[in-house]
Structure 1
Amino acid sequence: MFLFLFQKKRTHSSFSILEKFFQEYLIYGGYPDIVLQTSIELKQQILKNLVNTYLLKEIKDILAYKNIFEYESLLRRLALQDGGIMNKSAISRDLGIYNNKIAEMIHVLEKTYILTSIQPFFTNKIKEQIKSPKVYFHDLGFKNALINNFNTLEMRSDKGEIYENFIVNMLIRKNKNIHFWNIQNRYEIDFVYQEGGEIFGIEVKSQLQNNKIPQSVKMFIDKIRPQNIQIFNQNIDDV
């Protein structure tokens, strides 16, 4: 079993330029019309227009769902808990939307490449289908526009979730069949996938305290015995 630690280092003079584009991508997403704009104000305006026309109108029309308030409330709830375990019963109770309608809306949002959901990892495949998934946005710009938060990452309380969402999108592009690992909501590994009969894990940390291996990683190694586990750490100054 191998454990890899990935962290960003300032190793080249071009780092600041790449970092700028990367940070903008995490806030405004990857739609070309938005990426090519140099004005932050224009980026925000185009993104908001895209959300209003495509996400809040066209996809709502596909759903044939007449209650726009409930639809928008669900989208914003998912944006706020991006990367969290989705509890449909709690969402139903809080927003007053029936469980079957929530499931229908999420299904359409997945088919239209707005959302992606991943199931928990179990060796028992039946359990995977009955447990609550985690939901992520394919484009981080949509997430940020829905909650109207375009602050830089240094000012964000959801910085870790944003990095996590970025990694899950990269894994999807590599055609990985990804899951997450969770024990009683105490120990969690962000992403788990199998390849060649072996199990691999990925943990994303915006900061790695005292350069120590997280307890969840130790528990995952002890319980699952993966081929390797990678820790992606974004704390470039302290490690």
Structure 2
Amino acid sequence: MISRDLTARVKGKLNKGKAIVLIGPRQIGKTTLVNTLLEGIPFLFLDGDDVVVVDTLANANTETLKSIIGSYKYVFIDEVQRIPNIGLKLKIIVDQIKDVQVIVSGSSAFDINHLTQEPLTGRKFEYHLYPISWNEFENNVGYIKAQQQLELRLLYGMYPDVINNFGNEYEVLKNLVSSYLYKDVLSLAGIRKSEVLEKILQALALQVGSEVSYNEIAQLVGVDKNTVSNYIDLLEKVFVIFRLNSFSKNLRNEIKANRKIYFYDNGVRNMLIGNFNVLEFRQDKGALWENFLVSERMKLLSYSDSLAKPYFWRTTTQQEIDYIETNADVVSAFEFKWSPTKKVKLVKSFETAYNPSFMVVNKDNFRQFLK
């Protein structure tokens, strides 16, 4: 079992009089994290995938909830987004059954926030859990083994089951993508046209590291722009992809409204395009490296509760910087190059306008960027 950086933060919030909400994709280790938190402590587990549990909780009043919980001091409800009116039930537990710590988890940020936002205002601690981070991986397997597996992780990603099934990564990923993307995501959104979702995902996978045009994807897939936008919103809310917006502030020719889209996991991305060739023979090595670094940086910012804001930067004259971070008035610029011998200079106009720090992140020094 790989220990998670989030465990200590969540543990510090137990028994503070608020619900703990844990959000992240399926098969990411949410249940394992909760089991670790409550190891040796009796707790009530309620499964949101169980029809009886859903029906019982959906219709429960205060007295029913007290009867269900009984003498337990800890309650864990998984896949909470499947339970109607769960926000009101959680409010009752927090307000009326004060000696009980309730922990809930789910795989859809949209549904959980929609169900719990208003009832749990001021009554919850919310955390996002992602695929295994490089820091967690290295802490688990050690520095040398982590370095030896860097290229493997660029190909097969960081899902716990993938890491724990060395030699069977392809089969594990295939099952994960087919079950999570093409069943769970479709059912969450009530989508019937799986082929549209698949084509949009493949288009996004092939455009990692490039600016994404919804109009171009719409033409490629054969749907309208609004459909593409809706699918991308959904995929972001269930933690398959995330957007990076363009940075613009001072310069007239800066691109102001574009976005790049990245995958939270390289393995999922590679499964979608059916390519697990080694880096040496890949045309998209730079895109894989960029997706890995940006997704790992997102985990780092989230787990450290950072206030830094991530962007990319480009001008109308095609000057660009792979990744920008702002924190208060401090601007940091990063370029991503797999090879340590690649020499890169910071764009002069950006340097003059923003006086940023600058780092070229390569396979020799990337740990500085991720730790």
Q: Do they superpose with TM above 0.5?
A: yes
* 1:66 maps to which of 177, 192, 198: 192
Q: Does 1:195 align with 2:332?
A: no
3-state SS of the aligned residue for 2:326?
strand
Identical counterparts, % of pairs: 28
1:66 CA displacement = 1.6
Cross-structure match for 1:234: 363
Cross-structure match for 1:161: 287
Q: Which is higher, the Rg of structure 1 or of structure 2?
A: 2
Contact 2:322–2:336 at 8 Å: present in 1 too? yes
Cross-structure match for 1:50: 176
Count of aligned residue pairs for this structure pair? 216
CA RMSD of aligned residues (A): 2.4
Cα distance in 1, alignment partners of residues 300 and 353 from structure 2: 23
Q: Which amino acid aligns with 1:212?
A: K
Larger mean Cα displacement after TM superposition, 226-235 or 184-193? 226-235
Contact 1:119–1:180 at 8 Å: present in 2 too? yes
Structure 1 residues 118 and 62, CA, compared in 2 at 3 Å: closer, same or farther? same
Cα distance in 1, alignment partners of residues 317 and 336 from structure 2: 17
Q: Does 1:142 align with 2:274?
A: no
* 1:38 maps to which of 147, 166, 174: 166
Deviations 1:41-87 (A, max 9, x none): x2101101110010111101222222111110000111111121010
Contact 2:242–2:262 at 8 Å: present in 1 too? yes
1:162 CA displacement = 1.0
Structure 1 residues 107 and 130, CA, compared in 2 at 3 Å: closer, same or farther? farther
4+ runs deviating over 4 angstroms: none
Cα distance in 1, alignment partners of residues 332 and 364 from structure 2: 23
For structure 1, the 5+ residue unaligned runs are 1-13
1:203 CA displacement = 0.7
Cross-structure match for 1:204: 336
Structure 1 residues 63 and 220, CA, compared in 2 at 3 Å: closer, same or farther? farther
Cα distance in 2, alignment partners of residues 38 and 198 from structure 1: 41
Cross-structure match for 2:150: 22
Deviations 1:158-210 (A, max 9, x none): 1111111111122212324200000126111111111131111111012366x
Question: What is the TM-score normalised by the length of structure 1?
Answer: 0.82
Cross-structure match for 1:180: 312
For structure 2, the 5+ residue unaligned runs are 1-141, 302-307, 366-371
Counterparts in 2 of 1:43-122, with a 5 A limit?
Answer: 43-122=169-248
Cα distance in 1, alignment partners of residues 273 and 320 from structure 2: 26
Question: What is the TM-score normalised by the length of structure 2?
Answer: 0.54
Cα distance in 2, alignment partners of residues 228 and 130 from structure 1: 22
Deviations 1:116-156 (A, max 9, x none): 101000127xxx99712100000111000001111111111
3-state SS of the aligned residue for 1:191?
strand
Cα distance in 1, alignment partners of residues 332 and 175 from structure 2: 40
Cα distance in 1, alignment partners of residues 339 and 349 from structure 2: 19
Cα distance in 2, alignment partners of residues 29 and 185 from structure 1: 34
* 1:225 maps to which of 354, 357, 366: 354
Cα distance in 2, alignment partners of residues 189 and 203 from structure 1: 6
